Amino acid sequence: MHKFSSRSLRLGGLGLLALLLLTALLMWFFFTHDQSAVDKPASGKASGEHRPALTVSLASPQISDVPTSLFATGNVTAWQEAVISAEIGGLRLEKINANVGDVVKKGELLANYVRSTVEAEYAQASARAANAADAANRARKLVRIGGVSRAQLRTAVNQEKIERARLVVTTERLAQTRVRAPDDGVISSRRAAVGIVSNVGQELFRIIRQNRLEWRAELTVQEAALIKPGTKATLRADGVDNDISGTVRAIAPGADERSRNVVVYVDLPPTSNLRAGAFAEGRFMLGKKKLLSVPQKSLVLRDGFGYVFVHEQNGRVAERKVKSGQRFGKRVVIISGLKAEEQVVLDGAGFLNDGDLVLVVEPEHGANNKQGKHDDDNEQ
């Protein structure tokens, strides 16, 4: 009985020891398995940090011949507007032959008055002038034979001159019953109406002489100093889809007392699309300057500011805030923030962030030469 108990205790101890060893083995297995599972995502994340964010091509800034210009605004007006007024008073307008927008020629009949009264005056003046001329001729013959005195001859000759002058005045009045265009142009205003009895000087029509328009651009005194007669300008006016080219004719000698601006007069070509009184914006072409520029698609606009992504030696990009200028062709001027020897991301710049790792797929010189040639072709 004692032997049986001791043996049982020994067997029980061995079983307990085996159980503990099995438990420890299972715990070690599950612990190492779980740790391996935890380590795998971390390892994957670490490898992802060295993966390029984007495949890009690069371009170097170029010193380009940039056409410089000066922005201005102003109104389109008539080069000269002729006011056609009534030269005779007390007569009724009988007929109107022209309306606003009509193109007319110099001397063309625009309107006419009822002229019966003036025609009667003309007939009387013609008869009196003829009688006075006959009397003067008789006096000249009679004075040679003593039939009339020298004083009577002078009286007859003076009367002839008076009646002739009266005939000239009446002839002029008769002509004034016909209202004619003083020059080629376009009717811009009409106040004449059939049936009105006009007074001398009353406005009847306005005409844009020779259908010539001009742009009166307003510039500051400093800006106007850069403009000379003959300078080319390009403008866009209200109601006109295409750009209009013009040439500076004159520059006002002084500035306006209120606005302190100087008016620059730009001759415009005749066009049916342009209207006097329209507001226009335009630019004066001042020549070309050598300025630093990059392709437009390398410039990224964020929060109202311009940025480029500069490629660094470690393969990453640095976001660089720049000040951009005017655009020409497919390029944009960079005023500050970028050096000529730096390279910028050309394609896909809008998808990058500061510090991103990128993969460059085009050789530096090949990409730049191709891009530069493409832009030069566009400028030409």
Determine which of 41-55, 114-128, 182-196 has the lowest per-residue pLDDT on average: 41-55
pLDDT at 4: 46
Residue in the block written with tokens 């004075």: 143
Q: Are 295 and 235 in contact (CB under 8 A)?
A: no
Q: Which residue has the higher pLDDT, 147 or 20?
A: 147
| CATH of range 82-207; options 3.40.50.2300, 3.40.50.300, 2.40.50.100, 2.40.30.10 | 2.40.50.100
Please count the CA atoms within 13 angstroms of the CA of 24 that sit on its side-chain side.
6
Given a cut of 60, whether residue 144 has pLDDT beyond it is yes
**% residues pLDDT > 90 (the chain):** 57
Provide the pLDDT for residue 13.
61
289: pLDDT strictly greater than 80: yes
How far is the C-alpha of 166 from the C-alpha of 168, rounded, in Å? 5
Strands 93-96 and 109-113: antiparallel
Helix axis angle for 116-145 and 150-176, nearest 10°, is: 160
Q: Count the neighbouring beta carbons within 10 Å of the beta carbon of residue 158.
A: 12
Q: Establish how many alpha carbons lie within 13 A of residue 236's alpha carbon, considering only the half-sphere containing its beta carbon.
A: 4
Average pLDDT of the residues in 73-102? 94
- Is the pLDDT reported for residue 240 higher than 60? yes
Q: Please, which pLDDT band fits residue 49 given cuts at 50, 70 and 90? A: low
Q: How many Cβ atoms are within 10 Å of 30's Cβ, its own excluded?
A: 10
Domain ranges of the chain: 54-66+288-379, 71-79+213-287, 82-207
pLDDT confidence bin for 373, thresholds 50/70/90: very low
Q: How confident is the model at residue 31 (pLDDT cuts 50, 70, 90)?
A: low
Nearest Cα neighbor of 271 from 315, 239, 319 is 239
Per-residue pLDDT band at 376 (split at 50, 70, 90)? very low
CATH of 54-66+288-379, one of 3.50.50.60, 2.40.420.20, 3.40.50.1000, 3.30.1950.10: 2.40.420.20
The answer to whether residue 8 scores a pLDDT higher than 90 is no
pLDDT of residue 318: 92
pLDDT of residue 2: 47
**Residue with the two structure tokens 């020994």:** 10
> Which tens digit of pLDDT belongs to each residue from 169-212?
999 999 999 999 999 999 999 999 999 998 999 999 999 999 89
Which segment of 26-35, 95-104, 269-278 scores lowest on mean pLDDT?
26-35
In a 13 Å sphere around the CA of 357, the CA atoms on its Cβ side amount to 7
Q: Do domains 54-66+288-379 and 71-79+213-287 have the same CATH topology?
A: no
Residue 36 has pLDDT above 50, yes or no: no
Residue 247 has pLDDT above 90, yes or no: yes
Closest to 102 measured CA to CA, from 317, 325, 272: 272
Q: Once rounded to an integer, what is the mean pLDDT over residues 52-63? A: 86
HEC secondary structure over the chain: CHHHHHHHHHHHHHHHHHHHHHHHHHHHHHHHHHHHHHHHHHHHHHHHCCCCCEEECEECCEEEEEEEEEEEEEEEEECCEEEEECCCCCCEEEEECCCCCCEECCCCEEEEECCHHHHHHHHHHHHHHHHHHHHHHHHHHHHHHCCCCHHHHHHHHHHHHHHHHHHHHHHHHHHHCEEECCCCEEEEEECCCCCCECCCCCEEEEEEECCCEEEEEEECHHHHCCCCCCCEEEEEECCCCCCEEEEEEEECCCCCCCCCCEEEEEEECCCCCCCCCCEEEEEEEEEEEEEEEEEHHHCEEECCEEEEEEECCCCEEEEEEEEEEEEECCEEEEEECCCCCCCEECCCHHHCCCCCEEEECCCHHHHHHHHHHHHHHHHC
Distance CA(69)–CA(245), nearest Å, equals: 14
Q: What pLDDT, on the 0 to 100 scale, is given for residue 137?
A: 94
Architecture of domain 71-79+213-287: Beta Barrel (2.40)
Confidence of residue 232 (pLDDT cuts 50, 70, 90): very high
pLDDT at 218: 95
Q: 253: which 2 tokens?
A: 């000698």
pLDDT higher than threshold 80 for residue 95: yes
In the predicted structure, residue 108 carries a pLDDT above the cut 50: yes
Q: Which pair of tokens denotes residue 115? A: 């002229």
Distance in angstroms (rounded) separating the CA atoms of residues 29 and 17: 18
When the pLDDT of each residue in the chain is averaged and rounded to a whole number, the result is 84
Dist. CA 356–CA 350, nearest whole Å = 12
d(CA 220, CA 88): 46
Q: Round to whole Å and give the CA distance between 174 and 236.
A: 47
Residues 304, 324: Cα–Cα separation, whole Å: 12
Reported confidence tier of residue 136, pLDDT bands at 50, 70, 90: very high
